[in-house]
C-alpha cells in the first residue's frame, strides 16, 4: 500500500491546478507540468489535492505522481535551493550572466552554462547557491557542477554539497615495506 500516495497535498494561496491529460501547476514563481499516468486521477477538495488510483496495480505510479505533484506545487510557490562548497587552494567560481566560470586546479578555466530556470549566486568565491522551481532539474545541475571536480578522498579538495559528510582516507606511511 502506498503511504506516500495517500498523503494529501496542501495548496498554498496563489497556486492554481488544471488537469487535462497533464497536471499543470501555476503559481507566483512560474508554471510546471507533471505527467498524469493511466489509472491515477487528481481530486481537489478545497485547499488540498488528493491523488487517487483505480486499483492496486497502479500503486507504484500512485506514489510517484503524488511526489512529483507535491514537488511542482512547492516549486511554483516557494522554489528550491541547493548549496555547493568549493574546497581547495585557488579553487573559486564567479558568475558572468548565465555562465559560471570555475577555476578548479586544471590548466584552463571551466565555463558552465546555466539552463533556463536555474539561478546561481556566489558568496566569497567558494560558496554557490543554486535556486529554481524544478526540483529534478536543480538537482541535476548541482550534480553536474559537482562532477567538474568531485571531492578527492585524501585532501577532500573539490566541489561538494554543503553539509555533505566525506570520509577521509589515510595517506601513505613513511617506511618502505621490507
**Short-list 31, 140, 24, CA closest to 77:** 31
**Short-list 134, 139, 131, CA closest to 27:** 134
Contacts of 107 (CB under 8 A, 6+ apart): none
pLDDT value for 171: 83
pLDDT value for 143: 92
The pLDDT mean for the chain works out to 87
Q: Which three cell numbers stand for residue 58?
A: 497502479
pLDDT digits (tens, 9 = 90+) for 6-17: 888 888 888 888
Kind of pairing between the strands at 9-10 and 16-19: unpaired
Confidence band for 41, pLDDT divided at 50, 70 and 90? confident
**Short-list 35, 47, 115, 45, CA closest to 77:** 47
pLDDT value for 176: 61
Model confidence at 161: pLDDT above 80: yes
Task: Indicate the length of the chain as a whole number.
Answer: 178
pLDDT digits (tens, 9 = 90+) for 47-67: 888 888 888 888 888 888 889
Contacts of 122 (CB under 8 A, 6+ apart): 93, 94, 95, 100, 128, 129
> Is 65 exposed, middle or buried (CB count within 10 Å of its CB: 0-12, 13-18, 19+)?
buried
pLDDT value for 136: 92
pLDDT value for 129: 92
pLDDT digits (tens, 9 = 90+) for 104-160: 888 998 898 999 988 988 988 889 899 999 999 999 999 999 898 888 888 888 888
Amino acid at each position: 500500500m502506498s503511504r506516500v500516495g495517500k498523503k494529501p497535498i496542501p495548496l498554498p494561496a496563489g497556486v492554481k491546478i488544471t488537469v487535462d491529460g497533464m497536471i499543470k501547476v501555476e503559481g507566483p514563481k512560474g508554471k510546471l507540468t507533471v505527467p498524469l499516468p493511466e489509472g491515477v486521477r487528481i481530486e481537489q477538495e478545497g485547499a488540498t489535492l488528493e491523488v487517487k488510483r483505480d486499483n492496486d496495480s497502479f500503486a507504484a505510479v500512485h506514489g510517484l505522481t503524488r511526489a512529483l505533484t507535491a514537488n511542482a506545487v512547492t516549486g511554483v510557490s516557494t522554489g528550491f535551493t541547493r548549496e555547493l562548497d568549493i574546497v581547495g587552494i585557488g579553487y573559486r567560481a564567479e558568475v558572468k550572466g548565465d555562465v559560471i566560470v570555475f577555476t578548479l586546479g586544471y590548466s584552463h578555466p571551466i565555463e558552465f552554462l546555466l539552463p533556463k530556470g536555474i539561478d546561481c549566486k556566489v558568496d566569497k568565491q567558494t560558496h554557490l547557491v543554486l535556486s529554481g522551481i524544478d526540483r529534478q532539474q536543480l538537482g541535476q545541475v548541482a550534480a553536474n557542477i559537482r562532477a567538474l571536480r568531485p571531492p578527492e578522498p585524501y585532501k577532500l579538495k573539490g566541489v561538494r554539497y554543503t553539509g555533505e559528510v566525506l570520509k577521509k582516507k589515510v595517506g601513505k606511511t613513511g617506511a618502505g615495506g621490507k
